[in-house]
Structure 1
Amino acid sequence: MLAFFLKRLASLVFTMLVVSALVFAAFEFTPGQMATKILGPFSTQDQRDRLMEELGLHRPVWERYFEWLGNVLSGDLGYSTLYKLPVNDIIWDRLGNTLTLAAIAFAVMVPLSVLFGISAGMREGSKLDRTISVASIVTTSVPEFASGVFLASIFVIGLGWLPGTATLEAGARWPIAAQLVLPVTVIVLYDLGYVVRMVRASMVEVMTRPYIRTAILKGLTFRDVILKHALRNAMIAPFTVILLQINYMITGVVVVEAVFAYPGFGRMLLDSALSQDVATVQAASLFAVLVSVSTQIAGDLGYMMLNPRIRFS
């Protein structure tokens, strides 16, 4: 397992280096365009030339890349032209807000998806199975912005029970807990159906295995068959899928954060990209790749722990 972990860690480092080079080149391969992005389209050529000289943009790309990479490794993520602050002063607060939202949504989504998936898979073709399957398909097929608008129309405009935005301002009319209800609900609804179907499919497959029939013929109760024999084996494949949802909940909830004006990581990345805030986009892109690769490694390690055939092969 140690060799596997070291191999994955080396892969993570290599992936980060490749992505960092591609991200840097995408924004700074042409210094003239870089200066135009900072000063705006109405700047003069003389102003752009002076800025390029000041920032050292006349130097070769590879030289500027290694200087930027050294600054990133030392903790200097650059200066945000959109927020007029160092990127370090922005990205961690926004990331903390998104982690709060993701943690709540994950804590709600995982138990519900496992419960519904197992309930549907225990008795394939039953009314409960068909109901859960149809509901899962419906919730997954509805985009986040559509479900967000739909829920807001009911609970914000129609009933007035919840706020329509989640600015996380403690002194606002609504408490922070109430502001988080709709964003969390939208994320859970969109993500729940996919995980439920994965758990159900795995449970259906396990229930047809010979050792399940043997356990039933030995006289074990249906509850013991599910809890002691079927559950662990059914969760091997969905475990990786569940962990991969962490990547979506941290870096992929741009739509949800935009709909509810949530000051999170995804909305920061969107605003920075629209405003051509190069330093913030570069830092956020690297972190998004880090989260994606790290969750894949964690999923592979968890899969090995659950499946002895992989662990000892």
Structure 2
Amino acid sequence: MSGLRSFVARRLLLGALQIVAVVLLVFGLTEALPGDAAVALAGDQPDPARIDAIRAAMELDRPAWERLADWAAGLLHADFGTSLTSGRPVGAYLADGFGPTLLLATLTVALLVPAGFGLGVLAARHEGRFVDRLISSVTLAVYAVPEFALGVLLVTVFALRLGWLPPTAVGYGTDLLGHPSALVLPVLVLLSRPVCSLVRLVRAGMIDALASPYVAQARRYGVPGVRVRYAHALPNALAPAAQQLARTIDWLLCGVIVVETLYVIPGLGTVLLGAVAERDVPVVQGLAVVFGVLTVVLNLGADVVTHRLAPRAKVAA
């Protein structure tokens, strides 16, 4: 237990340093963006005096290090700043878009875990046989299709040709739970590549675990096959799969821009696209920090789970 506490303490310290690095990197990258928000807000034919007034109102004329210090201090109190274009708090944008994105991610993970682990274990149990070859071939083929292409294909078949499902979420707003049919195609697209990765990773982990000396010893002692697979082999196969699952959840929360754009879902991806188009730097910065912190936290949790499931695994401290 003391070893686990020491490991968690080291990972927490590393996570804190990574979050600081994320804040500095986000600010530096947004400062390096081409163009000027004041010029963008001044209109098509900006007047120099108007540009100067806008820059002063937005405090863009202050030194970068002062703005960084104020922004970082605000982050400590969950204050992400104010939108340059609307004057709304950035936190309000995050709150508006977080619900639909979280709903998509939750539904996807709820299907991903049983499908990924179940198919992976099934393929490992039938290694080299028809079931294993079928699962491996299908997952490889699906993984090779980009999300955008798969999304367009699903819309063409199930929405336009068959008319079974709505092609987009237009008109539903954020009330997606009240219209579950609008969630089917986006969730399928989000599920396609992660489930393929997880299936192949669980399959490989299970095959390695079933071929290990301790499993062979358990079989020699007459331990039932079901117990060997699920009490001895599966926990060691779960260790790398837990890290993959954390990366998948991170991608679902941070990388749904394509899916939300394709199906017109008002989530964080849509908010980010709008902020980039309007060069609304505080909103872009707020979203980037939230995504970065989620990445650090999820990977920290995955490392702890991996260490707990398989202490022998070499996890970077």
Are residue 233 (structure 1) and residue 236 (structure 2) matched? Answer: yes
Equivalent in 186, 201, 209 of residue 183 of structure 1: 186
Distance 1:30 1:129, change over 3 A: closer
Q: Is the 8 A contact 2:176 2:183 kept in 1?
A: no
203-212 or 19-28: which moved more? 19-28
Q: Structure 2 matches for 1:279-298, cutoff 5 A?
A: 279-298=282-301
Equivalent in 206, 220, 223 of residue 209 of structure 2: 206
Measured in 2, the distance between the counterparts of 1:250 and 1:172 equals: 19
Measured in 2, the distance between the counterparts of 1:63 and 1:84 equals: 21
Deviation at 1:310, TM superposition (A): 5.9
Distance 1:37 1:310, change over 3 A: same
Equivalent in 232, 246, 253 of residue 256 of structure 2: 253
Match of 2:117 in 1: 114
230-239 or 186-195: which moved more? 230-239
Distance 1:55 1:268, change over 3 A: closer
Deviation at 1:27, TM superposition (A): 3.1
Q: Deviations over 1:155-207 (max 9, x none)?
A: 11111111111247279999421111111111111211011111111111112
Unaligned runs of 5+ residues in structure 2 are none
Q: Deviations over 1:105-138 (max 9, x none)?
A: 0010111000110111123211111111111111
**Relative CO higher for 1 or 2, CA cutoff 8 Å, sep ≥ 6?**
2
Deviation at 1:307, TM superposition (A): 1.7
The residue matched to 1:59 in structure 2 has which SS? coil
165-174 or 47-56: which moved more? 165-174
Measured in 2, the distance between the counterparts of 1:168 and 1:12 equals: 41
Measured in 2, the distance between the counterparts of 1:40 and 1:11 equals: 45
The residue matched to 1:166 in structure 2 has which SS? coil
Are residue 224 (structure 1) and residue 233 (structure 2) matched? Answer: no
Q: Deviations over 1:41-93 (max 9, x none)?
A: 53122111122233333322111211122223233322324555322222112
What TM-score comes out, normalization by structure 1 length? 0.90
Match of 1:86 in 2: 89
What TM-score comes out, normalization by structure 2 length? 0.89
Q: Is the 8 A contact 1:113 1:195 kept in 2?
A: yes
Match of 1:105 in 2: 108
CA RMSD of superposed structures (Å): 2.6
Q: Is the 8 A contact 1:168 1:262 kept in 2?
A: no
Measured in 1, the distance between the counterparts of 2:177 and 2:247 equals: 32
Measured in 1, the distance between the counterparts of 2:255 and 2:115 equals: 21
Q: Is the 8 A contact 1:167 1:179 kept in 2?
A: no
Match of 2:247 in 1: 244
Q: Deviations over 1:235-291 (max 9, x none)?
A: 122121112211011001111111100111122112211221111100000001001
- Give the fraction of aligned pairs with identical amino acids, expressed as a percent: 32
182-191 or 71-80: which moved more? 71-80
The residue matched to 1:7 in structure 2 has which SS? helix
Match of 2:38 in 1: 35
Match of 1:193 in 2: 196
Distance 1:27 1:4, change over 3 A: same
Equivalent in 296, 302, 315 of residue 299 of structure 1: 302
Q: What letter matches 2:276 in structure 1?
A: A
Distance 1:278 1:172, change over 3 A: closer
Measured in 1, the distance between the counterparts of 2:204 and 2:35 equals: 54
Are residue 267 (structure 1) and residue 295 (structure 2) matched? Answer: no
Match of 2:129 in 1: 126
Equivalent in 160, 165, 189 of residue 157 of structure 1: 160
